[in-house]
Amino acid sequence: MNKAEKSDQFDLEALRKQVSDINRRAEEADEEVHPEPINTYARQIAEQFIAGNRSPAIIIGQFRLFEFASQFLIGLLAFSLWPGNGAETLSGRGITAAFVAVLLVCALQTADTYSIPALRARMRLLPRVFAVWASVFLIVIAGSALSGNVGLGQAQAYLAWFAPGAIFLLAARFLIAYAIRNWSRNGIMERRAVIVGGGEPAKNLIRVLEQQADNDIRICGIFDDRGEKRSPIMVAGYPKLGTVAELVEFVRITRIDMLIISLPLSAEARILQLLKKLWVLPVDIRLAAHANRLRFRPRAYSRIGSVPMLDIFNKPIRDWDSVAKRCFDIVFTLLCLALLWPVMLATAIAIKLTSKGPVFFMQNRHGFNNEIINIFKFRSMYADKGDPTGRAAVTKADPRVTPVGRFIRKSSIDELPQLFNVLKGDLSLVGPRPHAILAQARDRAFGDVVEGYFARHRVKPGVTGWAQINGWRGEVDHDDKIKFRTAYDLYYIENWSLWFDLRILFLTPFRLFNTENAY
């Protein structure tokens, strides 16, 4: 690596480090900008993007599974119709069919045919796909011949598999190309992006993006703090919808996938100022690098078509990770309900027998992307003394809490009905705990105490979490308590894995014995 490359790498790493440390340098940062209500026009535009879209990564993954399953079934059918000499068992044929299907998917991946541009191409890549399929069969037949396992019956079976398998493979590729083009036109499959920063740089970026032949980016608008002299209200046919503070609210009421910052790398102070406001959002944040003279190594870039982008932040728990986490939630939630239903039934009876009012208590709390969700709890307070807003936190020996409520709060049994929130999809089994919308640390809202507090809402909140099993639960009577809780939540988000979730879930029952802060 030459000196220039080292310097470029250092600059990029330094920028990333500065951004990741923003929330730990509150004393050196400007005051955090709170989201502002968006203007009427921006809200009208936002209404077009409230519905979710289909992730390209999910579609590609599903198509891989489809091609594997279809070729596996065609292979089994071929072996059933031409059983050969009868010496092969059904399980042996199944293993062969599975091996060929796996080899095909791996070979197609190596040949770069699993990408949106490749799947969109109706005819251009069909010869490559056929060549891959033929190569896979030549490899399998050659391996079988070397092992002496290819007779006339086996040859007929392979031929009966190769011909319909090739026809089905090419037909499926042809049809998926039409489907993807149709989904792109209808907005079902697209990556929705907002340009941050206007003027000439934004205009050049939009023109370059529009020139991409297989572009799946849909530009939803432009946001910029500068006035009309430096940032016109219309850029390359796209309207400027508001300020960066309004952008935060815009993203929270829509389904936006990406923010693209259109500023030169030399404007480091301005970029950091923007990132400080935007990193709390659950979106990809990219810095357009097509017009910058400063060049990094190729691996430092991601690309939209041929447009280079610097990856500043990635949306956490995305695509197949989100599918895996959802499956994890459903499986373990059903298991928890199967084990804990006697405890929940006994709790409901105890609440009903010892105090007047409903068994359950519902409260509005902040969910994913700052959405308001309604969570369930066992009622632990007297019915006429409850606080749905959460503004007045429960304290030690709080007279509002019933005797049964005191026990179930200390043991966290009052949280068990939130398992139904998990099945609904409002909560995850593991994640940052959802706080009441008006929750306070003494007389200050959590968002005023902790810079970057709302970054904990980039993922679904959880019934249990990393902060809770480390002792940060219960009353928040000091600023440091919510600061540490937020720090643990952010650590969880940045280091998430299914193993991490499993570890937290396993430790939760043991850590609940620490009831020091649970009232």
Q: Which ranges constitute the DSSP H helices of 82-151?
A: 90-110, 116-120, 126-146
State how far the Cα of 154 lies from the Cα of 213, in Å rounded to an integer: 45
pLDDT in tens, the chain (519 residues): 443 333 333 344 544 454 444 334 333 333 444 455 778 888 888 888 887 777 888 888 899 999 999 999 988 887 777 665 555 666 777 888 888 899 999 999 998 888 888 888 878 888 999 999 999 888 887 777 666 665 555 666 777 788 888 999 999 999 998 888 888 777 777 888 899 887 788 888 888 888 876 677 888 888 988 777 777 788 888 888 888 888 888 888 888 889 998 877 777 788 888 888 888 889 999 888 765 555 555 555 677 767 788 888 888 988 888 899 999 999 999 999 999 999 999 999 999 888 888 888 888 888 888 888 999 999 888 877 766 666 666 667 678 888 888 888 888 888 999 999 999 999 999 999 988 887 777 777 777 778 778 888 899 999 999 988 888 776 666 777 888 888 899 999 999 999 999 999 999 888 776 656 554
Query: Could you read off the pLDDT of 385-433 as tens digits, one per residue?
Result: 766 666 666 667 678 888 888 888 888 888 999 999 999 999 999 999 9
Q: DSSP state, 50? A: -
What burial letters (b/e) apply to 429-464, b meaning 16+ CB within 10 Å? bbbbbbbbbebbbeeebbbebbbbbbbbbbbbbbbb
CA nearest to 59, candidates 168, 228, 159, 188:
188
Both tokens of residue 462?
């959880």
The torsion angles phi and psi of 395, rounded to 5 degrees, stand at -115, 175
User: For the chain, how many helices (H) and strands (E)?
Assistant: 17, 14
Q: 33 phi and psi, to 5 degrees? A: -90, 125
428-430/462-464 β-pairing: parallel
Q: Of 357, 395, 398, which Cα lies nearest the Cα of 379? A: 357
Tokens of 403: 């005797």
Tell which residue, 128, 91, 87, 90, has the closest CA to residue 110.
128
- At 27, the amino acid letter reads E
The two three-digit tokens of residue 448, written as one number = 């005023």
Cα gap 290→115, rounded to integer Å: 22
Q: Nearest CA to 321 among 65, 66, 115, 61? A: 61
Domains of the chain: 3-53+190-315 (3.40.50.20), 56-186 (no CATH), 320-511 (no CATH)
Nearest to 308 by CA among 318, 298, 317: 298
CA distance 84 to 411: 65
pLDDT at 36: 59
DSSP 8-class letter at 114? -
pTM: 0.77
Q: Give the dihedral of Cα atoms 35, 421, 336, 358; nearest 10 deg.
A: 120
Strands 191-196 and 258-261: parallel
> Which pLDDT score, from 0 to 100, does residue 26 have?
35
Question: In what side-by-side order are the strands of the sheet with 238-242?
Answer: 234-235, 238-242, 217-223, 191-196, 258-261, 284-288, 307-313, 301-304
Could you give the C-alpha distances from 200 to 204, 215, 234, 263, in angstroms and in order?
6, 21, 11, 10
Q: Where are the alpha helices (DSSP H) in 454-515?
A: 466-469, 479-494, 498-511
Amino acid at 399: P
Q: How many CB atoms lie within 10 A of CB 38?
A: 24
At residue 23, the pLDDT reads 39
Per DSSP, the three-state class of 428 is: strand
Contacts of 143 (CB under 8 A, 6+ apart): none
Residues 468 and 511: beta-carbon distance below 8 Å:
yes
